[in-house]
């Protein structure tokens, strides 16, 4: 549950960053694209971490 909460929190931060950047600088700009990509990568990393936790839990439970 904690890993899922981390993914949801990362997604909320990503959404907040994207909306703020779009509001402050509505034009397309390469540096803003980098900021958005980094925020999305943070969500991806959190998601992969949650999947790793799930796999570890399944392996642990099946090993009993």
| pLDDT tens-digit map of 42-62 | 999 999 999 999 999 999 999
Q: Is residue 37 part of a domain?
A: yes
| Domain count for the chain | 1
For residue 59, give Cα distances in angstroms to 36, 62, 63: 35, 5, 6
Share the mean pLDDT of the chain.
Answer: 96
Domain annotation covers residue 9? no
Residue 42: domain span: 33-64
Residue 17 within a domain: no
Residues whose CB falls within 8 Å of the CB of residue 13, separated by 6 or more in sequence, listed in order = 39, 42
pTM equals 0.86
**49 domain-assigned:** yes
Residue 62 in domain: yes
């Amino acid at each position: 549950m904690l890993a899922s909460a981390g993914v949801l929190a990362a997604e909320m931060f990503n959404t907040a960053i994207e909306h703020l950047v779009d509001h402050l600088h509505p034009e397309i700009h390469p540096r803003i694209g980098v900021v958005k990509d980094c925020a999305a990568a943070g969500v991806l990393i959190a998601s992969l971490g949650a999947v790793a936790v799930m796999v570890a839990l399944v392996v642990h439970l099946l090993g009993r």
